Amino acid sequence: MVRIDFNRLRFLVIDDNAHMRRILRTLLHGFGAREVYEAEDGAAGLEAFTHYIPDIVITDWAMPIFDGLELMQMIRQPGANANPYVAIIMLTGHSEKKRVTAARDAGVTEFLAKPISAKGLYQRIINVVANPRPFIKTKTYFGPDRRRNVNSNYIGPERRKGGKADVIRQTPLLEKARAPV
Amino acid sequence: MPHSKDTAAIVTYGDHEIITPENKLRGAVSKQASDQGNDDPVARAEKALAELSPEFASWMDSECDRLDRARHDLREGFTKPNKDALFHAAHDIKGEAATFGYPAIASAADSLCRLIDHTPEATRIPPQLIDQHVDAVRAIYREYARSDAKRLAKDLTKRLREVTDEFLISQNRDRPDVLAQLKAPSIVPE
């Protein structure tokens, strides 16, 4: 069974609703997290992201100044900030298919619809920590691979073009636990 | 600090790159031994939330007051900020009500969100329909202790939703994509 040492992870919670921030903080501390930072809108969230360099961002969608989707598009800019690969969990009351699709296409790592549950949040965190997906960069997209599964029976057209792979670089994983503090 | 991409493996194809960033979070993962099964982080978090729950009634109360204020502000001036404030107040209640222990309130708030979100010209929303939604949310909250509260909430919300859908279909009759959205069920299980 996979377990996570939450006190090794740094969280940033971005939500304009103080009650929801308090609930998230309570759940994360309950899991064992120590480092939980908060921001109350998209602009403050981006500033906190730059300042704290969190491991996992949990953001609301509907927020003032700029919303969670716009925030995510700003973070998912290769070369523009310290960690464009950061795990982003979108926690929102929006649950319509077009919203989920829009979040996916903006580069969300996991989507969690409110009402929140301890189990749902825990599962999303386990997933981003233990099963990270590779990132895809195209002319129009930069974010986690949107193909979560390989379907051997797929018979449609292959939308990703390309021939022989050209490996640019391979660097061994650096475990967070071994990184200098 | 070195840039993250500096330690990512990149494979380039014709029109895309596949990038495998270093998994900095890997160090936080451990395999639990079978004899360490008593520690349940989810149960710990649920207990922490239960300890916070005495606050929830007052939080729900303040969210209902916020919705009421937003309704009054919109009545004073039908501006985009006022409309957005009403939507956000309803949207927050939709997302929080179940967590606060008032799941029967969420559907009425959701209906108000749909009304605001899917009306192409917001000034055409009948003010009384907004009032009916806000009053329904507040009434369901106020009467929540009644034994028949959930049934009444369900009946009230069902009627609100019917009236709202009728209005939205009339307002979006030339927008087939919106009509399809209105008729589509949420992909999130109830």
pLDDT for the residue numbered B11: 83
Is the per-residue pLDDT at A39 higher than 90?
yes
On the question of pLDDT at B52 being above 60, the answer is yes
Report pLDDT digits (tens) over B98-151.
999 999 999 999 999 999 999 999 999 999 999 999 999 999 999 999 999 999
Q: Percent of chain A, pLDDT > 70?
A: 85
- pLDDT of res. B2: 39
Q: Is A177 on the interface with B (CB under 8 A)?
A: yes
Using an 8 Å CB-CB cutoff, list chain B residues near A3. Answer: 29-32, 41
Domain positions in chain A:
6-144
To test the contact with chain A by mutation, choose from B13, B84, B112, B178 the residue with the greatest count of A C-beta atoms within 10 A, namely B13
A161 pLDDT band (50/70/90 cuts)? low
DSSP of chain B? ---GGGG-EEEE-SS-EEEE---TTGGGEEEPPGGGTT--HHHHHHHHHHHHGGGHHHHHHHHHHHHHHHHHHHHH---HHHHHHHHHHHHHHHHHTTTTT-GGGHHHHHHHHHHHHH-SSGGGS-HHHHHHHHHHHHHHHHTTTSTTHHHHHHHHHHHHHHHHHHHHHHHTTT-HHHHHHHHSPPSS--
Instruction: Give the H or E element holding residue A122.
Output: helix A118-130
Task: Among A32-46, A151-165, B48-62, B144-158, name the one with the lowest average pLDDT.
Answer: A151-165
Which residues in chain A are closer than 8 Å to B3, comparing Cβ atoms? Answer: 79, 82
ipTM of this complex: 0.85
Residue B115 burial (CB < 10 Å; 0-12/13-18/19+)?
buried
Q: State residue B189's pLDDT score.
A: 42
* Contacting A residues, span 90-119, partner chain B, CB-CB under 8 Å: 92-98, 100, 113-116, 118-119
Distances (CA, A) of A4 to A7, B37, B40, B146: 9, 13, 11, 43
How large a percentage of chain B has pLDDT more than 90? 72
Q: Which CATH number fits domain A6-144: 3.80.10.10, 3.40.190.10, 3.40.50.2300, 2.60.120.260?
A: 3.40.50.2300
In this prediction, residue A97 carries a pLDDT of 81
Q: For residue range B65-75, what is the model confidence (pLDDT) as tens digits?
A: 999 999 999 99
Question: What is the sign of the dihedral through the CA atoms of A151, A155, A156 and A157?
Answer: positive
Token pair belonging to A22: 């308090």
Average pLDDT over residues A19-35: 97
The number of residues making up chain B comes to 190
d(CA A122, CA B33): 19
pLDDT attached to residue A169: 37
Asked whether the beta carbons of residue A119 and residue B186 sit closer than 8 angstroms, the reply is no
A84-110 confidence digits (pLDDT tens): 999 999 999 987 888 888 999 999 999
Q: Choose, out of A77, A171, A181, the residue to mutate when testing the contact with B (most B CBs < 10 Å).
A: A171
The pLDDT assigned to A1 comes to 67
Confidence of residue B154 (pLDDT cuts 50, 70, 90): very high
The answer to whether residue A161 neighbours chain B at the CB level (below 8 Å) is yes
* Residue partners of B182: CB distance under 8 A and separation at least 6: B114, B118, B165, B168, B169, B172
What average pLDDT is seen over chain B? 88
Question: What's the pLDDT score for residue B188?
Answer: 47
Position B44 pLDDT exceeds 80: yes
**Does residue A168 surpass a pLDDT of 80?**
no
Per-residue burial over B150-163, b if 16 or more Cβ lie within 10 Å, else e, is eeebeebbeebbee
Query: Could you tell me the pLDDT band of residue A179, with boundaries at 50, 70 and 90?
Result: very low
Look at residue A8 in the predicted model and tell me its pLDDT: 92
Domains assigned to chain B: 50-183 (1.20.120)
pTM of structure: 0.86
